[in-house]
Structure 1
């Protein structure tokens, strides 16, 4: 027999309430790999020892807000006494807000409950009646539908009877009922926890197996508005958000809870994306790169993947605040990598120059070129050494700049050797000076051209980056819009089905409030379908 994992919650076998508040137990899901089954056990509603029920409604509300399947447990039959115990459902519209919009009235607020309320399962223990109606056998689900059917009469006379039934029918998207025979003889109930299956009533064992199978196979992953799945950290944050609202005297607001969750998740998504970008860049970039474009190409790939990570783990990014923060920090990190690329290139080039031109500098100090014809010999060696420098691999983007800086720093030495060479006439020396000036001007112009080219490459990359952010965010927003449309269409369909059922049962006046909800949902659906995405 499929059972809930043992030792989740102990069983109370006395008239005294055993569970206080809400107990939570997490176990590996027996049917869905990589999923956790979270069981919430609440204290009994209407415990006589509490004196009042002011906490019951909050416990009831929290259980509804946190569950994907809500199991309500009663004894005997589904009669008016059992329904009276469930009167807290009528308070949900007063205790839970679907939206933070202050202009939203109570009917408009509760119209959206069906979009994200859990499935409702009513379990009836120690059931003693026959499942029959009008002389025909019925299922337990049909028994529940009959029990939830409203009563005709004057509104003021049937209001208390109909209201909890209407709330259950209208708030919860899917309803199911299970009945259970008494598990064993009354005298053995106190030892129920210790009894084996063969010591229990066979009918009860089969009923429990059917119930567990349904829960395991049909309970969905808990989701919030927008199709956001709830994992462990999100469940923790939801509990804290809802409890904080209750203890501060406010009402838990599902929209605010999602936005508060989004603040935490989106901030973490930014950090996750930035960490990925930085680690991947470090792995892929071999400093120094030969060109700036080589570095920017790697950056573009890593940035695209980083944005994908952010999009995957973020949601409800109002005004794209967090994505803009990500874009800003990615740009800063890109610039840091560019600076590192420049510095490492310059360091390598300076080391090469020192190694290659060092012997020439020693010859200058010894006066090797301070003789007639020395300047020509100096130029020849200088040219050969420059050629050797150019042949060295992996100098990076500062190769020419660093060389020109070095050569400029040696202009005085060059001029001294030139002027000391007595084999050259004054005119020849003047011509050489002009040649060197022209050469320096050409190098400066080339450097300026290279700087302009790098700036253009950076601007092109910046625009490409901006377009990539827009593309991915547009896709994300469109997916969220489609998810919202699906949720609103589901809610509208369920409301229309309930309206049709009420009309069929002859409750025309009871459909007026429902019609208000339907109209509200239709307006929201039309607005969602027609609105577009605006990203700056």
Structure 2
């Protein structure tokens, strides 16, 4: 994208709508996305910071160089030890988030700008610029709250931008955080308190950028760094008044919802008069300390902002969100706001999973078909040869599916894939049999031409002709078996061919005056025996094919269970790691509360920690993994029943009769 687009439009009546053009851009991005959203009071320079992250700045000159030309320098500068102290200057040009030097808010709704990530290959950086909080011309704080909520839920890193210092006024502007429990639910039916307890699992990293900072970083006479400054501001305040409780509730929410916090303080970028036209200033006109801090901020975002991941345990593993998935989330979130006024994260993820998992099944089946077309040359020499190719192609297709599927708790989509792969394999089997039959009939037709010419000349309508015909028919069968590439239906086609000429054999025997009646019976019985031998060979061929297909289905079920088990153990590891992260955060918070003198709150947190530790012990048990594997196995027996023992035993009885 050479310039930003509206992602969410904010109508005059405060109604939010996802913009189709921006959604279309996102749907065209199959790469994982790092989503950085910036929020904060209006007219505080949010767009300026995002333009630096995009390595573009607004200006009146034209012909901006493409971002890809800048990326190479950034990669060398940020990842190499001998790189420059800071990244290259942003490219001037008309593209960029709009800036203004007036008191009127410039950004409305949420703007989006997609760029190649400066430091990570095959990753897209999505920048979201939000409408400023507290614009007096809006008059509806609920609209502010929804814009902020959307930015928070769509991003993997949320930057909160404010000016001056982190004082009570700055915290109060961020008061939209305390209303999140009224607007967001993790699961349908959760209470606000239950939702709040799970928020930290799903919320993005949090960076507070304090602009135009002119004070000294010190607390109680001691020098502190930026992060320590933020933690000092977020300490709970003593007192029991309503005002103090409300202030502490906001601090508690910020501490609970955003365990990963970072702070940057940036001094004034230029002289006050020059600030009116900040976007037009050259790099040399900006203060060195501001450039140093702005570059540190950009490096931190580029290096540490994670790829957007789908929230929580619904995913089998942590699922990287692509641009197309982000488009679906944005669309569903905006729809939920308009319809119910409450966002349910699990419902949105489930709806997204339905579309994505269906696409994953289709992609895996398409991959399987493509691989089979490339590997197979029909007809195959045996059913086993086709089965081996099936196993190789199925393993790769299943791996592709497992890398994409998520929230498939009951393996519904894996079972759908199993069924569709089996159907696709059976289609290849039918094509293989048809190709074999066509090849065999063509060979027999070719070999029969000489016999047919002899018949036309009457060579067999003479004394001894029937014996000569039998000899030529035997030679034909020998030549037939020597031909390569007959495939899996060689015996069955030959049997049908001999059956078709059995009447001719009997007619030639009956007309042969050289033969006695006894000899006629013997010659006819030889023909019957040859047909019986061909039938026996055809039955053996059919039994081998049935057994081979049974073996294919057994191996398919084992491969599905193997890959599912591998995924489930990985899921358990992710769940335990996430649970441990939550427990560690709660323990740190408990220690902080005790140090701040809030023993009652610390005691309540102790009970939460105990429950979390119990949940962790339950997660360690392998029973739920075995339950999922058993369920897949039972369903597989229905989808892949194989050829039943009755069918096989029936074929064997037929074989013995023959």
Q: What does residue 121 of structure 1 align with?
A: 207
Cα deviation, residue 480, structure 1? 1.5
Tell which deviates more after alignment, 507-516 or 6-15.
507-516
| Among candidates 505, 525, 528, match of residue 437 of structure 1 | 528
Q: What does residue 511 of structure 1 align with?
A: 602
Structure 1 counterpart SS, 2:395? helix
How far apart, CA to CA, are the structure 1 residues paired with 2:463 and 2:121?
A: 89
Tell which deviates more after alignment, 57-66 or 521-530.
521-530
Cα deviation, residue 514, structure 1? 3.1
How far apart, CA to CA, are the structure 2 residues paired with 1:367 and 1:299?
A: 51
How far apart, CA to CA, are the structure 1 residues paired with 2:563 and 2:298?
A: 42
1:97 aligns with 2:97: no
Whether the 8 Å CA contact 1:108–1:520 is kept in 2: the answer is no
1:532 aligns with 2:624: yes
* CA deviations over 1:142-193 (Å, ceiling 9, x no partner): 2211111111112645211111111111110211111122222222212110
Whether the 8 Å CA contact 1:107–1:513 is kept in 2: the answer is no
How far apart, CA to CA, are the structure 2 residues paired with 1:519 and 1:99?
A: 22
TM-score normalised by the chain length of structure 2: 0.78
Q: What does residue 265 of structure 2 align with?
A: 179
Structure 1 counterpart SS, 2:599? coil
* CA deviations over 1:362-391 (Å, ceiling 9, x no partner): 221332111111112212222222212221
How far apart, CA to CA, are the structure 1 residues paired with 2:480 and 2:219?
A: 99
Gaps (5+ residues) in structure 1?
none
How far apart, CA to CA, are the structure 2 residues paired with 1:39 and 1:85?
A: 22
How far apart, CA to CA, are the structure 2 residues paired with 1:88 and 1:516?
A: 28
* Distance 1:411-1:336 versus aligned 2 partners, 3 A rule: same
Cα deviation, residue 448, structure 1? 2.5
* Distance 1:513-1:85 versus aligned 2 partners, 3 A rule: farther
Q: What does residue 509 of structure 2 align with?
A: 418
Cα deviation, residue 403, structure 1? 1.6
How far apart, CA to CA, are the structure 2 residues paired with 1:155 and 1:323?
A: 56
Cα deviation, residue 411, structure 1? 1.4
1:462 aligns with 2:553: yes
Whether the 8 Å CA contact 1:28–1:36 is kept in 2: the answer is yes
Q: What does residue 167 of structure 2 align with?
A: 79
Gaps (5+ residues) in structure 2?
1-48, 57-94, 633-658
How far apart, CA to CA, are the structure 2 residues paired with 1:229 and 1:241?
A: 18
Q: What does residue 221 of structure 1 align with?
A: 307
Matches within 5 A, 1:364-375: 364-375=455-466
Cα deviation, residue 91, structure 1? 0.9
Cα deviation, residue 433, structure 1? 2.5
Q: What does residue 14 of structure 1 align with?
A: 102
Cα deviation, residue 519, structure 1? 3.9
1:334 aligns with 2:425: yes
Cα deviation, residue 136, structure 1? 2.1
Whether the 8 Å CA contact 2:463–2:512 is kept in 1: the answer is yes
Cα deviation, residue 258, structure 1? 2.3
How far apart, CA to CA, are the structure 1 residues paired with 2:608 and 2:242?
A: 22
State the Cα RMSD in Å. Answer: 1.8
Whether the 8 Å CA contact 1:131–1:143 is kept in 2: the answer is yes
Structure 1 counterpart SS, 2:113? strand
| Among candidates 203, 209, 216, match of residue 295 of structure 2 | 209
Whether the 8 Å CA contact 1:75–1:127 is kept in 2: the answer is yes
How far apart, CA to CA, are the structure 2 residues paired with 1:208 and 1:450?
A: 75
How far apart, CA to CA, are the structure 1 residues paired with 2:347 and 2:241?
A: 35
1:135 aligns with 2:226: no
Structure 1 counterpart SS, 2:273? helix
Q: What does residue 279 of structure 2 align with?
A: 193
Whether the 8 Å CA contact 1:502–1:511 is kept in 2: the answer is yes
Whether the 8 Å CA contact 1:245–1:251 is kept in 2: the answer is yes
Structure 1 counterpart SS, 2:115? strand
| Among candidates 98, 123, 129, match of residue 35 of structure 1 | 123
Rg comparison, structure with higher value? 1
